[in-house]
Amino acid sequence: VINPKKKGKKKKYVNSGTVTLLSFLIETEVSFLDYIKGGTQINFTVAIDFTASNGNPSQPTSLHYMNPYQLNAYGMALKAVGEIIQDYDSDKMFPALGFGARLPPDGRVSHEFALNGNPQNPYCHGIDGVMEAYYRSLKSVQLYGPTNFAPVINHVARYAASVKDGSQYFVLLIITDGVISDMAQTKESIVNASKLPMSIIIVGVGPAEFDAMEELDGDVVRISSRGKFAERDIVQFVPFRDYIDRSGNHVLSMARLAKDVLAEIPEQFLSYMRVRGIKPSPAPPPYTPPIHVLQTQI
Protein backbone atom coordinates (compact mmCIF):
# COMPACT_ATOMS: atom_id res chain seq x y z
CA VAL A 1 0.00 0.00 0.00
CA ILE A 2 1.73 3.18 -1.17
CA ASN A 3 1.32 6.60 0.42
CA PRO A 4 2.44 9.13 -2.25
CA LYS A 5 3.24 11.87 0.33
CA LYS A 6 5.56 9.61 2.31
CA LYS A 7 7.15 8.30 -0.86
CA GLY A 8 7.94 11.83 -1.91
CA LYS A 9 9.54 12.72 1.44
CA LYS A 10 11.53 9.58 2.32
CA LYS A 11 14.13 8.05 0.04
CA LYS A 12 14.13 4.68 1.84
CA TYR A 13 10.29 4.40 1.79
CA VAL A 14 9.10 1.04 0.38
CA ASN A 15 5.41 0.89 1.37
CA SER A 16 2.95 1.42 4.20
CA GLY A 17 2.05 -2.27 4.46
CA THR A 18 0.75 -4.96 2.14
CA VAL A 19 -2.63 -6.50 1.50
CA THR A 20 -2.68 -10.25 0.91
CA LEU A 21 -5.66 -11.77 -0.90
CA LEU A 22 -6.18 -15.23 0.61
CA SER A 23 -9.05 -16.40 -1.57
CA PHE A 24 -11.64 -15.08 -3.95
CA LEU A 25 -14.67 -16.41 -5.78
CA ILE A 26 -16.12 -15.29 -9.10
CA GLU A 27 -19.86 -15.87 -9.36
CA THR A 28 -21.74 -15.33 -12.58
CA GLU A 29 -25.13 -13.69 -12.16
CA VAL A 30 -27.46 -15.65 -14.42
CA SER A 31 -30.74 -14.28 -15.69
CA PHE A 32 -34.12 -15.79 -16.54
CA LEU A 33 -33.27 -15.40 -20.24
CA ASP A 34 -30.02 -17.39 -19.84
CA TYR A 35 -32.17 -20.42 -18.92
CA ILE A 36 -34.60 -19.79 -21.78
CA LYS A 37 -31.67 -19.51 -24.23
CA GLY A 38 -30.26 -22.72 -22.75
CA GLY A 39 -33.46 -24.55 -23.66
CA THR A 40 -35.61 -24.49 -20.48
CA GLN A 41 -39.24 -24.85 -21.59
CA ILE A 42 -42.03 -22.80 -20.02
CA ASN A 43 -45.38 -24.63 -19.95
CA PHE A 44 -48.55 -22.60 -19.44
CA THR A 45 -51.81 -24.11 -18.22
CA VAL A 46 -55.05 -22.09 -18.10
CA ALA A 47 -57.83 -22.73 -15.55
CA ILE A 48 -61.19 -20.93 -15.75
CA ASP A 49 -63.77 -20.47 -13.00
CA PHE A 50 -67.20 -21.84 -14.03
CA THR A 51 -68.98 -21.28 -10.71
CA ALA A 52 -72.53 -19.91 -10.41
CA SER A 53 -71.33 -16.74 -8.61
CA ASN A 54 -70.24 -15.49 -12.06
CA GLY A 55 -73.90 -15.14 -13.08
CA ASN A 56 -76.01 -16.84 -15.78
CA PRO A 57 -74.09 -16.71 -19.13
CA SER A 58 -77.31 -15.77 -20.95
CA GLN A 59 -77.67 -12.56 -18.85
CA PRO A 60 -75.74 -9.37 -19.74
CA THR A 61 -74.77 -8.92 -16.04
CA SER A 62 -72.83 -12.23 -16.06
CA LEU A 63 -69.04 -12.23 -16.23
CA HIS A 64 -69.50 -15.19 -18.61
CA TYR A 65 -72.11 -13.39 -20.77
CA MET A 66 -72.03 -14.78 -24.31
CA ASN A 67 -72.10 -11.46 -26.12
CA PRO A 68 -71.95 -11.94 -29.91
CA TYR A 69 -70.38 -8.49 -30.41
CA GLN A 70 -67.62 -8.26 -27.82
CA LEU A 71 -65.55 -10.33 -25.42
CA ASN A 72 -66.88 -10.92 -21.91
CA ALA A 73 -64.71 -10.30 -18.81
CA TYR A 74 -63.18 -13.80 -18.94
CA GLY A 75 -62.58 -13.67 -22.70
CA MET A 76 -60.90 -10.29 -22.35
CA ALA A 77 -58.66 -11.37 -19.48
CA LEU A 78 -57.80 -14.65 -21.22
CA LYS A 79 -56.92 -12.96 -24.49
CA ALA A 80 -54.98 -10.08 -22.92
CA VAL A 81 -52.96 -12.19 -20.48
CA GLY A 82 -52.69 -15.18 -22.83
CA GLU A 83 -51.18 -13.14 -25.63
CA ILE A 84 -48.50 -11.95 -23.21
CA ILE A 85 -47.55 -15.38 -21.93
CA GLN A 86 -47.83 -17.37 -25.14
CA ASP A 87 -44.53 -15.86 -26.37
CA TYR A 88 -42.70 -17.78 -23.65
CA ASP A 89 -44.22 -21.16 -24.53
CA SER A 90 -42.46 -22.56 -27.59
CA ASP A 91 -44.99 -25.18 -28.72
CA LYS A 92 -48.04 -22.89 -28.15
CA MET A 93 -50.06 -25.89 -26.91
CA PHE A 94 -51.92 -24.98 -23.72
CA PRO A 95 -53.77 -27.41 -21.45
CA ALA A 96 -57.02 -25.57 -20.63
CA LEU A 97 -59.12 -26.59 -17.62
CA GLY A 98 -62.37 -25.48 -16.04
CA PHE A 99 -63.55 -25.82 -12.46
CA GLY A 100 -66.82 -25.51 -10.54
CA ALA A 101 -69.26 -26.76 -13.21
CA ARG A 102 -71.71 -29.62 -13.70
CA LEU A 103 -70.79 -31.61 -16.77
CA PRO A 104 -72.99 -33.38 -19.29
CA PRO A 105 -74.40 -35.98 -19.63
CA ASP A 106 -74.83 -36.95 -15.94
CA GLY A 107 -74.44 -33.55 -14.24
CA ARG A 108 -71.45 -34.53 -12.10
CA VAL A 109 -69.56 -31.58 -10.57
CA SER A 110 -65.95 -31.24 -11.68
CA HIS A 111 -63.10 -29.05 -10.44
CA GLU A 112 -60.62 -29.99 -13.19
CA PHE A 113 -62.33 -30.70 -16.51
CA ALA A 114 -60.78 -30.26 -19.96
CA LEU A 115 -62.30 -27.28 -21.78
CA ASN A 116 -61.98 -29.11 -25.10
CA GLY A 117 -63.90 -32.11 -23.70
CA ASN A 118 -60.90 -34.45 -24.00
CA PRO A 119 -59.46 -35.33 -20.55
CA GLN A 120 -56.71 -37.45 -22.18
CA ASN A 121 -55.54 -34.51 -24.27
CA PRO A 122 -56.65 -31.13 -22.80
CA TYR A 123 -54.25 -29.18 -25.05
CA CYS A 124 -55.54 -26.28 -27.15
CA HIS A 125 -53.60 -24.70 -29.98
CA GLY A 126 -52.67 -21.12 -29.09
CA ILE A 127 -54.79 -18.66 -27.13
CA ASP A 128 -57.37 -18.70 -29.94
CA GLY A 129 -57.75 -22.46 -29.39
CA VAL A 130 -58.26 -21.88 -25.65
CA MET A 131 -60.88 -19.17 -26.38
CA GLU A 132 -62.73 -21.51 -28.73
CA ALA A 133 -62.76 -24.34 -26.14
CA TYR A 134 -63.90 -21.87 -23.43
CA TYR A 135 -66.91 -20.72 -25.50
CA ARG A 136 -67.76 -24.30 -26.42
CA SER A 137 -67.69 -25.31 -22.73
CA LEU A 138 -69.96 -22.40 -21.78
CA LYS A 139 -72.62 -23.80 -24.12
CA SER A 140 -72.47 -27.33 -22.70
CA VAL A 141 -71.73 -27.15 -18.94
CA GLN A 142 -73.85 -25.75 -16.11
CA LEU A 143 -72.26 -23.14 -13.87
CA TYR A 144 -72.29 -24.53 -10.36
CA GLY A 145 -69.83 -24.57 -7.43
CA PRO A 146 -68.12 -24.48 -5.01
CA THR A 147 -65.01 -22.50 -6.04
CA ASN A 148 -62.16 -24.94 -5.41
CA PHE A 149 -58.64 -24.01 -6.54
CA ALA A 150 -56.73 -26.95 -5.04
CA PRO A 151 -57.63 -29.53 -7.77
CA VAL A 152 -56.23 -27.46 -10.67
CA ILE A 153 -53.13 -26.50 -8.62
CA ASN A 154 -52.53 -30.18 -7.81
CA HIS A 155 -53.16 -31.08 -11.47
CA VAL A 156 -50.23 -28.89 -12.63
CA ALA A 157 -48.12 -29.85 -9.58
CA ARG A 158 -48.27 -33.52 -10.67
CA TYR A 159 -46.62 -32.57 -13.98
CA ALA A 160 -44.10 -30.23 -12.30
CA ALA A 161 -43.13 -32.98 -9.84
CA SER A 162 -42.10 -35.25 -12.72
CA VAL A 163 -39.46 -32.84 -14.14
CA LYS A 164 -37.41 -31.20 -11.40
CA ASP A 165 -34.13 -31.01 -13.36
CA GLY A 166 -34.64 -27.42 -14.59
CA SER A 167 -35.47 -28.43 -18.16
CA GLN A 168 -39.10 -27.36 -17.71
CA TYR A 169 -41.01 -24.80 -15.63
CA PHE A 170 -44.79 -24.70 -15.23
CA VAL A 171 -47.04 -21.65 -14.91
CA LEU A 172 -50.72 -21.99 -14.02
CA LEU A 173 -52.98 -19.08 -14.95
CA ILE A 174 -56.23 -19.09 -12.94
CA ILE A 175 -58.98 -16.66 -14.00
CA THR A 176 -61.65 -16.31 -11.31
CA ASP A 177 -64.32 -14.02 -9.87
CA GLY A 178 -62.55 -14.43 -6.56
CA VAL A 179 -64.96 -16.07 -4.12
CA ILE A 180 -62.87 -19.06 -2.97
CA SER A 181 -64.35 -22.04 -1.06
CA ASP A 182 -61.36 -24.30 -0.28
CA MET A 183 -58.92 -21.80 1.26
CA ALA A 184 -57.26 -24.33 3.62
CA GLN A 185 -56.74 -26.96 0.86
CA THR A 186 -55.52 -24.26 -1.57
CA LYS A 187 -52.93 -23.02 0.94
CA GLU A 188 -51.79 -26.61 1.47
CA SER A 189 -51.48 -27.09 -2.32
CA ILE A 190 -49.47 -23.87 -2.70
CA VAL A 191 -47.09 -24.75 0.16
CA ASN A 192 -46.48 -28.17 -1.46
CA ALA A 193 -46.11 -26.64 -4.95
CA SER A 194 -43.54 -24.10 -3.68
CA LYS A 195 -40.96 -26.92 -3.75
CA LEU A 196 -41.70 -27.61 -7.43
CA PRO A 197 -40.73 -25.80 -10.66
CA MET A 198 -44.03 -23.92 -10.91
CA SER A 199 -45.68 -20.53 -10.42
CA ILE A 200 -49.33 -19.48 -10.22
CA ILE A 201 -50.82 -16.30 -11.71
CA ILE A 202 -54.33 -15.48 -10.44
CA VAL A 203 -56.30 -12.93 -12.46
CA GLY A 204 -59.39 -11.68 -10.65
CA VAL A 205 -62.28 -10.54 -12.88
CA GLY A 206 -65.40 -8.66 -11.82
CA PRO A 207 -66.17 -6.36 -8.90
CA ALA A 208 -65.70 -8.76 -5.93
CA GLU A 209 -63.50 -8.16 -2.90
CA PHE A 210 -60.26 -10.02 -3.55
CA ASP A 211 -58.92 -10.18 0.02
CA ALA A 212 -58.48 -13.97 -0.18
CA MET A 213 -56.45 -13.61 -3.39
CA GLU A 214 -54.21 -10.97 -1.80
CA GLU A 215 -53.60 -13.43 1.05
CA LEU A 216 -52.66 -16.20 -1.42
CA ASP A 217 -50.32 -13.76 -3.20
CA GLY A 218 -48.09 -13.91 -0.11
CA ASP A 219 -46.21 -10.66 -0.81
CA VAL A 220 -47.02 -9.21 2.63
CA VAL A 221 -47.12 -12.42 4.69
CA ARG A 222 -45.53 -15.62 3.36
CA ILE A 223 -48.26 -18.23 2.93
CA SER A 224 -48.32 -21.18 5.34
CA SER A 225 -50.37 -24.31 5.95
CA ARG A 226 -50.47 -26.38 9.15
CA GLY A 227 -47.40 -24.58 10.51
CA LYS A 228 -45.34 -25.08 7.33
CA PHE A 229 -44.32 -22.01 5.34
CA ALA A 230 -44.03 -21.98 1.55
CA GLU A 231 -40.41 -22.54 0.49
CA ARG A 232 -40.73 -19.58 -1.87
CA ASP A 233 -43.40 -17.15 -3.04
CA ILE A 234 -45.02 -18.67 -6.15
CA VAL A 235 -48.31 -16.72 -6.47
CA GLN A 236 -48.91 -13.44 -8.30
CA PHE A 237 -52.40 -11.88 -8.06
CA VAL A 238 -53.65 -9.26 -10.53
CA PRO A 239 -57.12 -7.59 -10.30
CA PHE A 240 -58.14 -7.22 -13.96
CA ARG A 241 -60.47 -4.26 -13.28
CA ASP A 242 -57.41 -2.06 -12.61
CA TYR A 243 -56.47 -2.36 -16.29
CA ILE A 244 -59.77 -1.76 -18.09
CA ASP A 245 -61.68 1.41 -18.95
CA ARG A 246 -64.94 2.58 -17.32
CA SER A 247 -67.08 0.76 -19.88
CA GLY A 248 -65.26 -2.47 -18.97
CA ASN A 249 -64.69 -3.24 -22.65
CA HIS A 250 -61.10 -2.22 -23.36
CA VAL A 251 -57.74 -2.85 -21.79
CA LEU A 252 -56.22 0.57 -21.06
CA SER A 253 -52.59 -0.49 -21.21
CA MET A 254 -51.47 -3.88 -22.44
CA ALA A 255 -47.88 -2.98 -21.55
CA ARG A 256 -48.74 -2.28 -17.90
CA LEU A 257 -50.87 -5.41 -17.69
CA ALA A 258 -48.05 -7.48 -19.21
CA LYS A 259 -45.52 -6.02 -16.78
CA ASP A 260 -47.67 -6.69 -13.70
CA VAL A 261 -48.80 -10.16 -14.76
CA LEU A 262 -45.24 -11.34 -15.41
CA ALA A 263 -43.56 -9.17 -12.74
CA GLU A 264 -42.72 -11.97 -10.33
CA ILE A 265 -42.25 -14.94 -12.68
CA PRO A 266 -38.52 -14.45 -13.48
CA GLU A 267 -37.55 -14.09 -9.80
CA GLN A 268 -39.77 -17.04 -8.77
CA PHE A 269 -38.18 -19.09 -11.55
CA LEU A 270 -34.62 -18.06 -10.53
CA SER A 271 -35.27 -18.75 -6.84
CA TYR A 272 -36.23 -22.36 -7.73
CA MET A 273 -33.08 -22.82 -9.85
CA ARG A 274 -30.82 -21.21 -7.22
CA VAL A 275 -32.09 -23.34 -4.34
CA ARG A 276 -31.63 -26.49 -6.45
CA GLY A 277 -28.21 -25.39 -7.74
CA ILE A 278 -29.38 -25.74 -11.37
CA LYS A 279 -27.27 -23.76 -13.83
CA PRO A 280 -28.53 -22.79 -17.30
CA SER A 281 -27.39 -25.01 -20.17
CA PRO A 282 -25.08 -23.25 -22.63
CA ALA A 283 -26.98 -21.55 -25.42
CA PRO A 284 -26.63 -23.28 -28.80
CA PRO A 285 -24.44 -21.44 -31.32
CA PRO A 286 -26.34 -18.95 -33.50
CA TYR A 287 -27.67 -20.44 -36.71
CA THR A 288 -25.63 -19.65 -39.78
CA PRO A 289 -27.16 -20.60 -43.12
CA PRO A 290 -24.97 -22.84 -45.30
CA ILE A 291 -22.95 -21.01 -47.94
CA HIS A 292 -23.82 -22.09 -51.46
CA VAL A 293 -20.87 -21.81 -53.80
CA LEU A 294 -22.07 -20.62 -57.16
CA GLN A 295 -20.35 -22.51 -59.91
CA THR A 296 -19.96 -20.44 -63.02
CA GLN A 297 -19.54 -22.22 -66.31
CA ILE A 298 -16.93 -20.87 -68.69
Q: 96 and 116 in contact (C-beta within 8 Å)?
A: yes
For 45, the 3-state DSSP assignment is strand
| Helix 254-262 and helix 73-85, axial crossing angle in degrees, nearest 10 | 70
Task: Provide the pLDDT for residue 294.
Answer: 61
Output 256 or 111, whichever has higher pLDDT. Answer: 111
Q: What residues does 168 pair with on adjacent strands?
A: 41
Residue 190 — very low, low, confident or very high, per pLDDT cuts 50/70/90?
Answer: very high
Q: State pLDDT tens for residues 64-122.
A: 998 888 889 899 889 888 888 888 888 899 999 999 999 999 999 999 999 999 999 99
State yes or no: cis peptide before 197, omega within 30 of 0.
no
Per DSSP, 70 falls in state S
Q: 209 and 178 in contact (C-beta within 8 Å)?
A: yes
> Considering only CA atoms, which of 171, 130, 174 is closest in space to residue 44?
171
Residue 29 — very low, low, confident or very high, per pLDDT cuts 50/70/90?
Answer: confident
Task: Provide the pLDDT for residue 237.
Answer: 93
12 CB-near residues (< 8 Å, 6+ apart): none
Task: Provide the pLDDT for residue 134.
Answer: 97
When pLDDT is averaged across residues 192-201 and rounded to a whole number, the result is: 96
CA distance 226 to 169: 27
CA distance 167 to 207: 39
Torsion over CA of 149, 155, 160 and 163, rounded to 10 degrees?
A: 170
38-42, 202-206, 240-244: range with lowest mean pLDDT: 240-244
Task: Provide the pLDDT for residue 298.
Answer: 55
Domains and CATH numbers, the chain: 32-276 (3.40.50.410)
Q: 55 and 64 in contact (C-beta within 8 Å)?
A: yes
